[in-house]
Amino acid sequence: MEYHRPVLLKESVDGLNIKPDGVYVDVTFGGGGHSKEILSRLGPEGKLIAFDQDADALENSIDDERFVLVNQNFRYLRRFLRFHGYTEVDGILADLGVSSHQFDEASRGFSIRFDGKLDMRMDTSKSLSAYEVVNTYEEKHLASIFKQYGELRQAPGMARTIVSKRKESPIETTEQLKEVLQRFLPKHRENKILAQLYQAIRIEVNEELEVLKAFLMQTTQVLKEGGRLSVISYHSLEDRLVKRYMRDGLFEGQPERDLYGRVEVPFKRVGKFIIPSEEEIEGNNRARSAILRVAEKI
């Protein structure tokens, strides 16, 4: 089984505007698809540093002296680049979201297609899993997560039902969670609502939005002037953060203006956002919600 089929492969790597002797970073290595494409465009003096917190991804490491794979979360981008001797790089690529492998591995609990333990940890060494979120979080906290991260209108009712049911016995598997919430899952919308619910729990377990913010703020510190940032997002919460940071260098509020009314921002946009072609979506259903944005450090 293919570990992960890279989305918007050519477009995202094209966005980096690769120089053969440049230093590049792939912060979401996964199956190595984007990394291999970057390496194919680098000369003998080029360098690629890749990050992936999932130990399973290490099995896909590439045997190439120009390549280094760091088994860490990309929230530590700057720290581990410095550890490997780099303070500045020419380009950074991020393919956010869950890899095909994580979705297809039932035991990881990411997919609505399989019955598996409530886990959803991208880094399996971490203690907080979906089980703890579902079985220990207070009702108000659960409702907030479902509403904020899953954009679920019935978040309060779902949270109340979970808290009530778990008093009888712990909710241990994805199938049990689905049964508990059955009355909120009309047949014609069941998969969509479950996907939103899983997204909400997964974001909480992996602190995905906090991690993304920490990563984006470091890109302005490590990219050289003229360096490129190429980011693929899969839902509006991620894309909003990426879009705003590329535009304003902020996640909320407005950038400050100087005495002449000019705004100082760290990036300039490169082209318009890109979405996958119908042909790509047909061959890889997981590409359907992808959106690519590229920016250049000023």
- The answer as to whether 1 is a domain residue is no
Q: CATH code at 231? A: 3.40.50.150
Assess if residue 76 is contained within a domain: yes
- Tens digit of pLDDT at every position of the chain (298 positions): 455 679 999 999 999 999 999 999 999 999 999 999 999 999 999 999 999 998 888 999 999 999 999 999 999 999 999 999 999 999 999 999 775 544 455 455 556 666 889 999 988 889 999 999 999 999 999 999 999 999 999 999 999 999 999 999 999 999 999 999 999 999 999 999 999 999 999 999 999 999 999 999 999 999 999 999 999 999 999 999 999 999 999 999 888 887 887 888 999 999 999 999 999 999 998 899 999 999 999 9
Residues 192 and 68 in one domain: no
Is residue 2 in a domain?
A: no
110 shares a domain with 90: no
Residue 152: give its domain's CATH number: 1.10.150.170
Q: In this structure, are 182 and 272 located in the same domain?
A: no
State the number of CA atoms in the 13 A half-sphere of 170 facing the CB: 11
Structural domain boundaries, residue 200: 106-206
Which burial class, exposed, middle or buried, applies to 292 when counting CB atoms under 10 A from its CB (0-12, 13-18, 19+)?
buried
Considering the domain architecture, whether residues 186 and 229 belong to the same structural domain is answered as no
> Is 268 among the domain residues?
yes
pTM of the predicted protein model: 0.91
pLDDT for the residue numbered 281: 95
Q: Are residues 191 and 70 in the same domain?
A: no
Among 144, 173, 206, the domain boundary falls at 206
Residues 241 and 198 in one domain: no
* pLDDT for position 113: 63
pLDDT for residue 114: 66
Within-domain flag for 273 = yes
Statement to judge: residues 84 and 118 lie in one domain: no
128 and 81 both lie in a single domain: no
User: In 85-188, which residue ranges form alpha helices assigned H by DSSP?
Assistant: 100-104, 130-136, 139-150, 155-166, 174-180
Residue with tokens 């590439």: 62
Domain boundary among 177, 206, 235: 206
Please check whether residues 45 and 167 belong to one and the same domain: no
In contact, 275 and 292? CB cutoff 8 Å? yes
Q: Which one of 206, 234, 265 terminates a domain?
A: 206
Tell me if residue 256 falls in helix, strand or coil.
coil
Per-residue pLDDT, 101: 47
In terms of DSSP bridges, do strands 223-233 and 89-95 run parallel, antiparallel, or are they unpaired?
Answer: parallel
Chain centroid to CA 169: 33
Number of domains in the chain: 2
